[in-house]
Structure 1
Amino acid sequence: MNSIEIGALSASAETLAKLCDLLVETVAAGGSVSFMHPLAPEAASAFWERSLAAAAKGERVVLGAWDGKVLAGTVTLLLDCPPNQPHRAEIAKLMTSIKYRGKGIGTRLMRAAEHLAVEKGRTLMVLDTATEEGASGLYEKLGFTLAGEIPDYALKPHGGLTGTLIYWKRIGVSS
């Protein structure tokens, strides 16, 4: 996967369409990323338009993993935290296209997000993932610490409740 290039995404019609396709695919495959199946393309588009507008204001960074013209994955680094949390960043919407899963895309996106957070002076990253079929193994491999589980936190995309696992990681500071 050396041909994969990771970089910040900006609003263009082509990028927006690829992000929408990835979100719809992820939800259809059972990915717990805040949406229910079936996800209407218009709802996916509205979400990404808001997300990319927030990125343009510096409130977040939306990273994409590109294999040529194919968007293989994405992750969002949330930076717009309350005034008493300027040291914190949050990970959201880590998604890898089904065709690219198991090839290290998620790891590379997470490392790029962490690097960006450190560049922006952040010293703590937090995230949550679904208890069932979430990415807890990946996050633990990357050094995140489990803070705990909240049962019945959200609906799964195809129905039924799932818990969420809350993780944290200190970054950019020596232990």
Structure 2
Amino acid sequence: MIANPSVSSQKPIKLDANAAAGRSEELAGILVDAVAGGTSVNFLWPFGLPDARRYWDRVIARIGAGEILLLAIESGGRLVGTVQLIPAPQPNQDHRVDISKLLVLRSARQQGIATVLMQAVEAEARRLGRSLLVLDTETGSAADRLYRRLGYQVLGIMPRHARLPGGELADTTFFFKHLPDASQ
């Protein structure tokens, strides 16, 4: 376990495409750790570093294109958690963002990192003038409990929506949160 009680008080960093590319091995390691731990983040086991590298290459290209913002938190000079903010590109949804891939290394969990990342992603959404946050996660998971604790509202639960890394079907809870919108 990464024993650093100050991690949760650290400020997340925004990684542009160049910074993310320079840390792609760390990013890949975080993703592999999540999948190996059974986290439902779109991938099935077996899943290794080559798969994770390909995923992050696509994300980094989208960061470079301005389609995704990537926030991360470090401990001991290495990345231990990430979250993505994806502004909706549609003109009639310029108030909305999707939150994706909140990932924290298993060895760094229970230190408040996910909460800090979610608070940072909400601040980024506000900075962008976005007031509606949308996300989904495996029903009953630690992430499900986190989002509820942070004030996200349940839109609904879709039974047997996605496969867990081991292949079994699981329910997915869809959440939203309205941030104060100064433009209205």
Partner residue in 1 for 2:115: 107
How do residues 29-40 of structure 1 correspond to structure 2 at under 5 angstroms?
29-40=37-48
Partner residue in 2 for 1:74: 82
The CA deviation string for residues 70-89 of structure 1, in whole angstroms up to 9 with x for no partner, is 21100000114322211000
Name the TM-score, length of structure 1 as normaliser: 0.93
Q: Identity of counterpart residues, as a percentage?
A: 36
Partner residue in 1 for 2:13: 7
1:143 aligns with 2:151: yes
Structure 1 window deviating more from structure 2 (57-66 vs 77-86): it is 77-86
Tell me if structure 1 keeps the 8 A contact 2:129–2:181.
no
SS of aligned partner of 1:33? coil
Unaligned runs of 5+ in 2: none
Out of 8, 16, 22, the position equivalent to 2:24 is 16
Structure 1 window deviating more from structure 2 (163-172 vs 133-142): it is 133-142
Partner residue in 2 for 1:122: 130
Name the TM-score, length of structure 2 as normaliser: 0.89
Unaligned runs of 5+ in 1: none
The CA deviation string for residues 121-150 of structure 1, in whole angstroms up to 9 with x for no partner, is 001001000114351110011110001100
Q: How many positions carry a matched residue from both structures?
A: 175
CA shift in 2, pair 1:14/1:97, >3 Å: same
SS of aligned partner of 1:77? strand
Point out the structure with the larger helix share: 2
